[in-house]
Amino acid sequence: MKLSFSLPYLSHHSHYLIGSDILRAELKTVLEDVHEIASQGNPDFFDAFYETFTIDDSRQLREMHGVRPVHSSGKKIFIISMDGITIEAQNALLKLLEEPAEYAYFFLIIPSGHLLLPTVKSRMIPIETASEKETTGEGEKFLKLSVAKRLDMIKGLLDDISKEKKTKQHAIQLLHDIEAALYTRKGVAKAAAALRALDIAKKYSSDRAPSLKMLLESVALSV
């Protein structure tokens, strides 16, 4: 497996990675090969994906964190991959991420750094990945379309999501790609209004039940 990041040291207890759920497999490989932490058959290794990470999930995580590792000298690993996370869930995680037990290591995998509150990000160390620097090219394609064609593109994406051919992650990735294309085309100053619309869309796309249609159509009319 070709890895998109490295993790030579476990010097911090809370990390986040920007990318898709594919990073989960990479992270497990790194922890096993570099740090000799087994993921299979290890009761101290928690690994899960959430479409939207909620306050109930935060509470469950805190409860699991409070149980000492089965192995007295071991580490407890928590890999949490998600398409979105609510503000309430993040607020519930603040103290846990700031003062984790000496045996606990948290890794959050999220599609965009915009989904995390500044207070949460300040308590975590980012792990830079190659995928974080890449875009799919869909953002530039979107900007070149007329408003009518953009709305058609959105309808097709939402149809695929409803048929489970794609996930909410694809909608979030499209927003990320549009933002990157706007920066390249216009720069921050000239694209300020459009970037504000994108920030709002990205923020609300992580809610428990976002209206992706309304958010994406708002962006289509604003950029």
Would you kindly state where each structural domain of the chain is located, as residue ranges? 14-131, 138-222
Q: In what order do the strands lie in the sheet with 104-110?
A: 45-53, 76-85, 104-110, 14-18, 125-127
Q: Quickly list DSSP for 81-104.
A: EEEEE-HHHHHHHHHHHHS--TTE
Task: Report pLDDT digits (tens) over 169-183.
Answer: 788 878 878 887 887
Distance CA 108, CA 24 (A): 9
The pTM for the full model equals: 0.67
**How does residue 72 score in pLDDT terms, banded at 50, 70 and 90?**
low
CATH number of the structural domain 14-131: 3.40.50.300
User: For residue 143, which of 212, 204, 211, 194 has the smallest C-alpha distance?
Assistant: 194
So what's the pLDDT on residue 43?
A: 93
**Residue 133 reports pLDDT greater than 80:** no
Who has greater pLDDT, 149 or 127?
A: 149
So what's the pLDDT on residue 179?
A: 82
Distance CA 62, CA 136 (A): 36
DSSP 8-state symbol, 11: -
Helices (H) and strands (E) in the chain, counts: 9, 5
Task: Report pLDDT digits (tens) over 195-220.
Answer: 888 878 877 776 666 688 899 999 99
